[in-house]
């Protein structure tokens, strides 16, 4: 296995075999993201990827989960993804799922038939960082895809049978858009109707445009208490057919988890309990950032 550091994966892929099919991120411009700043985007040659799969099959023949690296493996055409998925199926008899980060443009560039083909070959889960449902904030953070593009991508992937996990960033609107950010994000996630939703808290990382904006005073971070209010507005505006909701990433001040819509009132109750000061918020030194 050959990796170019740094390597990132979602927390839920902790036990997956991480297979690099690209290096870096084809967009690499989001204002808050430091993940691939130091990596020039490139596509790995297919022979190298197939070699890696052979090596992994010898060392970990019972692999059940594979996560395709890096920032957006779906940027590869279906024609390039198909032989990789076929090799994974052929080499790992116990394979249960293949997943990757996805961006909206990469999904929307594929036809419905191609998405269905990728699903039939085992690509069953995609992670999409929506971050915000607010148009103004979406422009500010240079997401590279419109809100409608992102809604369409999640709906199309799921129509093809690929479950989608959508990530949102509390605090991404700064103080001036905090309310709009939270409400619009809840509404947009509802339009997407994903199977999983993860809430994280925005963290300005040195080297990113967001960090420079914070230093320059043009982006004002919200307080932990204001983050709770965003969480409340977000959950209040979620109307979903059936999803797992989590705010248990290390960056969160109030870890929550449940199923929506069934647990909506319980989650809102837990947030109100915390807002009333009955639950200590996670201290900064425990946020693991």
Where on the chain is the footprint of ligand SF4 (CB under 6 A)?
25, 27-30, 33, 35-36, 71, 103, 129
Number of H helices, E strands in the chain: 10, 10
Nearer to ligand SF4, 36 or 219 (CB): 36
CB atoms within 10 A of CB 111: 12
* Smallest gap from residue 275 Cβ to ligand SF4 (A): 29
Nearer to ligand SF4, 49 or 74 (CB): 74
| Residue 94 phi, psi (nearest 5) | -100, 15
String of DSSP letters for 108-158? HTS-HHHHHHHHHTTEEEEEEEEE---HHHHHHTT-SS-HHHHHHHHHHHH
Nearer to ligand SF4, 101 or 245 (CB): 101
Distances (CA, A) of 199 to 77, 147, 182, 254: 30, 18, 11, 10
* Smallest gap from residue 142 Cβ to ligand SF4 (A): 8
Chain mean position to CA 271: 23
* Smallest gap from residue 90 Cβ to ligand SF4 (A): 30
Counting every residue written for the chain, the total comes to 289
* Smallest gap from residue 256 Cβ to ligand SF4 (A): 23
With 0-12 / 13-18 / 19 or more C-beta atoms within 10 angstroms meaning exposed / middle / buried, residue 130 is buried
* Smallest gap from residue 7 Cβ to ligand SF4 (A): 12
Angle between helices 178-192 and 147-159 (to 10 degrees): 30
Q: Facing residues of 43 across strands?
A: 22
* Smallest gap from residue 32 Cβ to ligand SF4 (A): 7
Nearer to ligand SF4, 36 or 245 (CB): 36
Nearer to ligand SF4, 29 or 175 (CB): 29
Kind and range of the H or E run holding 97: strand 97-101
Q: Which pairing describes strands 42-43 and 65-69: parallel, antiparallel, or unpaired?
A: unpaired
From 198, 222, 67, select the one nearest 129 (Cα to Cα).
198
* Smallest gap from residue 220 Cβ to ligand SF4 (A): 21
Nearer to ligand SF4, 71 or 224 (CB): 71
Nearer to ligand SF4, 122 or 209 (CB): 209
């Amino acid at each position: 296995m050959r990796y170019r550091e740094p390597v990132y994966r979602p927390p839920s892929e902790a036990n997956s075999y991480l297979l690099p099919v690209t290096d870096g991120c084809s967009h690499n411009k989001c204002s808050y993201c430091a993940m691939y700043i130091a990596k020039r985007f490139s596509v790995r040659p297919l022979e190298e990827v197939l070699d890696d799969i052979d090596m992994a099959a010898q060392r970990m023949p019972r692999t059940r989960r594979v996560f395709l690296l890096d920032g957006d493996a779906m940027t590869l055409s279906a024609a390039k993804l198909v032989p990789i998925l076929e090799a994974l199926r052929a080499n790992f008899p116990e394979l249960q799922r293949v997943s990757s980060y996805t961006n909206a443009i990469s999904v929307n560039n594929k036809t419905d038939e191609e998405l269905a083909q990728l699903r039939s070959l085992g690509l069953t889960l995609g992670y999409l960082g929506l971050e915000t449902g607010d148009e103004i904030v979406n422009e500010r953070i240079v997401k590279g895809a419109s809100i409608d593009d992102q809604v369409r991508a999640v709906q199309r992937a799921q129509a093809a049978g690929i479950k989608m996990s959508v990530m949102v960033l509390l605090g991404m609107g700064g103080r001036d858009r905090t309310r709009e950010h939270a409400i619009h994000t809840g509404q947009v996630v509802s339009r997407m109707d994903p199977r999983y939703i993860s809430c994280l808290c925005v963290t300005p990382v040195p080297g990113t445009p967001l960090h420079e904006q914070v230093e320059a005073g043009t982006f004002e971070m919200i307080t932990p208490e204001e983050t709770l209010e965003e969480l409340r507005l977000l959950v209040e505006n979620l109307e979903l057919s059936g999803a797992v909701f989590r705010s248990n990433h290390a960056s969160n001040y109030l870890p929550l988890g449940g199923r929506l819509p069934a647990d909506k009132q319980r989650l809102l109750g837990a947030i109100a309990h915390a807002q009333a000061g009955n639950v200590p918020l996670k201290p900064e030194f425990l946020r693991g950032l």
